[in-house]
Amino acid sequence: MLRFYPVFLIVFLFSKVLTAQIVIQQNDTSYCQPQPLTFNALLDTSLIATGLIIVDDTYSDVINLGFDFNFYGNVYNQCILSTNNYICFNTSDASAYSPWPINTALPSTAAGSPKNSVFGPWHDTDPSAGTMGTMSYKTLGEAPNRKFIYSLCEVPMYSGACNALLYSGQIVLYEGSNKIETHIANKPICPTWNTGQAIHGLHNSDGTVAHVVPGRNFPSNWTTTDEGYEFVPDGSGGYTINQIPYNPYLIYSGGSVTWYENNTMIGNGLTLNVPNPSVGTHQYVAKLEGCYGTSGSDTVTVTIGATDATYTQFNLECPEATDGFAAVNFSGSQPYDLVWTDTIGTILQSSNGTLGSDTLFGVGVGVYNLEITDGVGCVTNQTYTITAGTYLASFDYSPIVICQEAPVTFNNTSTETITAINWNFGDGDQATNNPTSHSFENPGNYSVSLTIQNTNNGCSAIDTKEIVVNANAKADFSVTSNYCQNDPVNFTDLSTPNPVDWTWYMSDLDTFDFQNPGYSFGLSGDYIITLTVVDSLCGTDTKKDTIRINEYPIVGIVADTLVCAGQEVTLDAGNPNFSHTWSTGDTTQFFTTSFQTTTNVWVIVTNEGCIDGDTITITINCDITMPTGFTPNADGKNDKFRPRGKNVISYDLVVFNRWGNIIYSETDAPGDLDNGWDGTINGEPAEIGTYVYYLKSNMINDFIIEKSGNVTLLR
């Protein structure tokens, strides 16, 4: 079952007569020292309204009007109130459902159209949404001029999308005249619910007659603010509708008291507690306020202490300074006796009858007290704590990465008061301007310091930063020692300090972009090698160097390889401008020698480390011998006295008898060695015996061998 609960709400509704409706019980007063304060407000209880807390879309319980009221010819002294902003005289519907849908114009006999009602207007409001809205009622006045007031104050429109739209309005029933007034402070439209419908007017008990404000019947959408209408009985059972000034009645409850200090709200309710008021003069105001205005107010003035002063102090820039001060400035023309002391009670300065202000100059870090006595003996003590700031030096520099010999800008970023400045760059140089530029000649670590001073008070500070000066890019490289054509030449980067990019130029031949290339030069000659490096921090550099690519010797020993023992042989290795090393120990391009046996001969030819060599075999394959005897007996064996040997080109052979007579002679005998002495003299067999011979043989390579000896002829 839907229920409603009457309560006294902290709301202000409407009043036509402004009287002393609120009074603060306490009088104006003064205190020498701050102390807790309590104030109480007294209210005119005759205007306290009764509030409604009921669920959405319901009627209240039966409510007494307090007088007889004629509505469409019927007299009522009770009513029920709808949460949808109308008064209904059908008390049998108390606590029942109150219709909200509006889908037909009035008059209407439809069941969903409330009958016997005053709509102020009828629309779907939701007092259960949020905590702001209030509904209340009150009967005011004395017979025969009483008024019944039903008021909605900042009640939300229905549906979540429209809960922020607040309605405030009032319906007033007048005793005697039976006149009805509506006063609307704010009537919004909720277009997303019930198509924003609202009906403003009256509806009789059977739904056959209605009096509606023009333009405010279904299906019109409308809105208004600060507007009043009256419905006056016309004596024939109807009503005349007139627009009147907006003039609501203000009714309220005790909780509607709002407290202010110097126009700032500090509390609400009948009691105000101020636990810790400050020294000075305070005005506390209690007001009766609500969504329709202020009904009344009262003010009390409290003065705390006799001193109306402002206190200032100047703290020190640094602990060494002594230029601090403490000051007091008084308002008004009252004289004061002043005593300044330090923490141990030593009087530093005093004066009597001081007007306006006083200052204690030249103080350092510490706590100081000012005792102020006014003309009536109220004493105020003010403590000053003079502190010292931290006098700090700071600077920055750019660029962050510093390179050798590059300008660096140093900039003071200190926020202190500065009268003198000094830079020490850690390399023997200093500067006194700001900003300043400096270049470091050599790489390394440097301690750069900034000293700032305020010579007016002795403050000084220093900031030191360790900076790193990076060496500039330095290109360098090494090359493998032997530079021979067609052999790989390896290049090794030796650049410093932080190379990250390399470009190699092999004269006009090829280019490489990596750190350690290798390259083969196809032709001998001089080549300019160029390396350009980019450092990760400090610039670029280029190095050029010339290398000579040497040709390889092409070695083939030129010599007779078939010779006779003892025959001189000339061996030639070619390559006249290079170094030669022979297996014989000779070091010239060519040399002449002789060999007794077959011999292998090698040579190594070197051109600046480019080496070639060759080996040949000198073969002893040239010889000739003569037999010591022969048997010319025609047996086919050893029948001739002839030479034996090889590589004989031709020979001359002469045979002598024991008396020295030539008995056989042959010249240019062919090298086949078939010719010789057959053992005859003039066709006759020679005597057995010993004979003398002489042999001259022409060997290969124009070598001549001569031999002589004895030969024995046998038969």
Q: Which CATH architecture has domain 477-546?
A: Sandwich (2.60)
- Taken in order 15, 17, 18, 20, the sign of the CA dihedral is negative
The CATH class that applies to domain 625-713 reads mainly beta
Mean pLDDT for the stretch of residues 225-240: 96
Instruction: Select, from the ranges 303-312, 434-443, 563-572, 632-641, the one with the highest average predicted confidence (pLDDT).
Output: 434-443
Tell me the C-alpha distance between 153 and 291, whole Å: 6
Tell me the C-alpha distance between 38 and 661, whole Å: 181
Options 3.40.640.10, 3.30.300.20, 3.40.50.1470, 2.60.40.10; CATH of 309-386: 2.60.40.10
Average pLDDT for the chain: 89
Using an 8 Å Cβ cutoff, are 6 and 50 in contact?
Answer: yes
What is the structure's pLDDT at 675? 85
Tell me the C-alpha distance between 514 and 507, whole Å: 17
Under CATH, which number does the domain 15-44+256-304 receive? 2.60.40.10
Tell me the C-alpha distance between 235 and 239, whole Å: 8
Helices vs. strands in the chain: H and E counts, helices first: 0, 59
- Strands (E) in 157-223, as ranges, are 166-174, 180-187, 199-203, 210-212
CA nearest neighbour of 318 among 192, 462, 175: 462
**Whether the predicted pLDDT of 294 surpasses 70:** no
Q: Angle 189-190-192 (CA atoms, 0-180°, nearest 5)?
A: 145
What is the structure's pLDDT at 15? 33
**Whether the predicted pLDDT of 377 surpasses 80:** no
Tell me the C-alpha distance between 158 and 133, whole Å: 12
Q: Mapped to the 3 state alphabet, what secondary structure does 441-483 carry?
A: CCCEEEEEEEEEEECCCCEEEEEEEEEEEECCCECCEEECCCC
Q: Angle 198-146-45 (CA atoms, 0-180°, nearest 5)?
A: 95
- Encode pLDDT of 259-273 as tens digits: 999 889 998 888 999
Mean pLDDT for the stretch of residues 60-67: 97
Helix (H, G, I), strand (E, B) or coil at 701: helix
- Encode pLDDT of 401-434 as tens digits: 999 999 999 999 999 999 999 999 999 999 999 9
Amino acid code (one letter) for 245:
P
What is the structure's pLDDT at 131? 63
- Encode pLDDT of 182-218 as tens digits: 999 999 999 999 999 999 999 999 999 999 999 999 9
Tell me the C-alpha distance between 522 and 487, whole Å: 8
What is the structure's pLDDT at 292? 67
- Strands (E) in 2-113, as ranges, are 4-7, 22-24, 29-31, 37-43, 50-54, 63-71, 74-82, 86-88
Mean pLDDT for the stretch of residues 164-178: 96
Options 2.170.120.12, 2.60.40.10, 3.90.25.10, 2.60.120.380; CATH of 395-470: 2.60.40.10
DSSP category for residue 419 = S
Domain-wise residue ranges, the chain:
15-44+256-304, 50-244, 309-386, 395-470, 477-546, 562-620, 625-713
Q: Which pLDDT band holds residue 19 (cuts at 50, 70, 90)?
A: very low
